[in-house]
Structure 1
Amino acid sequence: MSAPFRLRDDGVDLFVRLTPKAALDRLESVEVSADGRSYFKARVRAVPENGAANRALEKLIAKALGVPGSAVSVVAGGTARLKTVRIEGDPAMLAKSIEGLGRQS
């Protein structure tokens, strides 16, 4: 199984499948798509209008990883369900935190 993230020099890119208009905001399990790529399943209460769901996702990930909101941004898939979320910081520490998230669910 591939990791649901990719290391970068200045942080990580996290792959997420977002479901908006959910009952609550939460990161769920790591899933594997038909093409073999891994991604986190995430749900947010926000609606997918004017970037509201993306902003809610950024806040959710920042809180889960204990990083400032300004360090988290959706960089690809803005209007798609599958998104790439860039998290700036120490790549090794972020990878460890993300792997911990995957085990909690």
Structure 2
Amino acid sequence: MEVPEQIAVTVKPNSRKGPLIETGEDGALTVFVREPATEGKANKAVALLLAKHFGVPKSTVRLIGGATSRTKRFRIG
């Protein structure tokens, strides 16, 4: 799987479905996590899940936009 340099994802915190990453027909990623959207808990969980999904170290996944939004941008690498 090719690892993108930047990726935009839609986050669904407090989800019973999670942890899960779904890819839509258009290639957009939706990330379901069980953690609440408080104190950055959901953001950390999404970063860990993306690292696992792309097979990269968790230290290489950084949130670069949308810290308080459901649509977030991450830099990988």
- Tell me, yes or no, whether TM beats 0.5: yes
1:12 aligns with 2:5: yes
- Superposed structure 1 runs of 4+ greater than 2 Å apart: none
Q: Do 1:17 and 1:41's aligned partners in 2 also have CA atoms closer than 8 Å?
A: yes
Match of 1:48 among 37, 41, 46: 37
Matched length: 74
Could you tell me which runs of 5 or more consecutive residues in structure 2 were left unpaired when the two chains were aligned. Answer: none
Which is higher, the Rg of structure 1 or of structure 2?
Answer: 1
Higher normalized helix content (fraction of residues): 1
Percent identity reads 32
**TM-score of the two chains, using structure 1 as the length reference:** 0.65
Match of 2:19 among 20, 25, 30: 25
SS in 1 for 2:56: coil
**TM-score of the two chains, using structure 2 as the length reference:** 0.87
Could you tell me which runs of 5 or more consecutive residues in structure 1 were left unpaired when the two chains were aligned. Answer: 1-6, 33-37, 89-105
**How many angstroms does 1:45 deviate by?**
0.5
1:80 aligns with 2:74: no
